[in-house]
Amino acid sequence: MSKILAASLVAVVFSAALFIYSTLYTGPYGATAIATTPNGARPQEVSRQGSAIPVPPARAGTLRASGLVQPIRLTQPATTVSMPAQGHRYDLHDVVGLDVGSLNELQTFYDTINFDAHHWRDSNAGVPPVFVSEIPESWSNALDATSKKNLFFRAILPLILVVNEEVTTDRHLLLTYMEDRSVGRPSSPETLARLGGIAATYGVIEAPDKGKAFTPELSSADLKELFLRVDAVPVSMALGQAAYESGYATSRLATGENGLFGQWRDGDGLRPRGRRAAFSGNENTRYATPLASTRAYILNLNTDDAYLEFREERAVMRQADGRLDGYRLAEALGMYSDSGLTYANTLRAIIAENELTKVDDISLRDEVPVRVEIASN
């Protein structure tokens, strides 16, 4: 009887938490955030090789949680939470956190904020910026197969979208610099330093010694290569690969290491799991968060020589109409695995079966970001 009463009490507390949370966390989509862009600005449009593509604004907002930390199980007190400006990466520890006791509770939370299993592909509704902080071991043995797949897609989709936004802001900076340079307009030292950091991150130039000022001279060839590399990855393709490589987050690399994309580390950097036999000294890479794994995957596609065909095909799509087709670009990822074309075809089948191309044009809602901590048992 005591166990039944305890379980009932947990259910009541969680329901109350969701009610309070959704009441305070309200916006245009129902149970969503109180958020504003700087000065009320909306996303701006910029010209990218003749195509108008939205540039995500910095996010900002306030969650009124003072005095309600325990009922809602927020892991931080009331604070102003914001997404960083261009050129920066935000840390999950810098955003409001919410504890959930199980994957069932995570599903309930998603349903409460209008991100349910039937409408998560809806591009009109958008995706809430809710980020899981870890893939718990319980993921592999909880829920039925269909529920687990739907939960996986909802948990991973925001991660891909926010990393794409980070890449897009870097690309916008690059485009602005190239336009200024073409007309002889000088750039600020801060812009040049940021651009140099981006060029080093993407492997176009060598990174400076730690602590030294960094204002590199980038040649026309450097800029051309950087423009090829600094770009988003199709959402459907990335989501399909995460499902394929992690077994919908049930693999050991996923539940034990937060690794979603089958990447292993060798002396030369990251390699996909299927190609590790060709390298010596390989070891699996533990990521601090699933977000870190997603960043590493997208950077890998944007820098490794094995994916040059992917980047060139992506550039052709940008030149045509600006839209990225994940199903088509998946064909260029044969080098991700030893199985080559078979791997690419299987990935395309996953994309088609789960109708993932519907999310290629989806974006994050302009809301307060939330970090979700899932209990490990």
Three-state secondary structure string covering the chain = CHHHHHHHHHHHHHHHHHHHHHHHCCECCECCCCECCHHHCCCEEEEECCEEEEECCCCEEEECCCCCHHHHCECCCCEEEECCCCCCCCCHHHCEEEEECCHHHHHHHHHHCCCCCCCCCCCCCCECCEEECCCCHHHHHCCCHHHHHHHHHHHHHHHHHHHHHHHHHHHHHHHHHHHHHHCCCCCCHHHHHHHHHHHHHCCCCCCCCCCCCCCCCCCHHHHHHHHHHCCCCCHHHHHHHHHHHHCCCCCHHHHHHCCCCCEEEECCEEEEHHHHHHCCCCEECCCCCHHHHHHHHHHHHHHCHHHHHHHHHHHHHHHHCCCCCHHHHHHHCHHHCCCCHHHHHHHHHHHHHCCHHHHCCCCECCCCCEEEEECCC
What's the predicted TM-score (pTM) here?
0.76
Per-residue pLDDT of the chain (377 residues; tens, 9 = 90+): 444 444 444 444 444 444 444 443 433 323 222 222 223 332 222 222 222 223 333 332 322 222 222 223 333 333 333 333 334 465 777 778 899 989 999 999 999 999 998 889 988 889 999 999 999 888 888 888 999 999 999 999 999 999 999 999 999 999 999 999 999 999 888 888 899 999 999 999 987 766 565 667 889 999 999 999 999 999 999 999 999 999 999 998 898 789 999 886 543 444 454 444 333 334 557 899 999 999 999 999 999 999 999 999 999 999 998 999 999 999 999 999 988 999 999 999 999 999 999 999 999 998 889 999 988 76
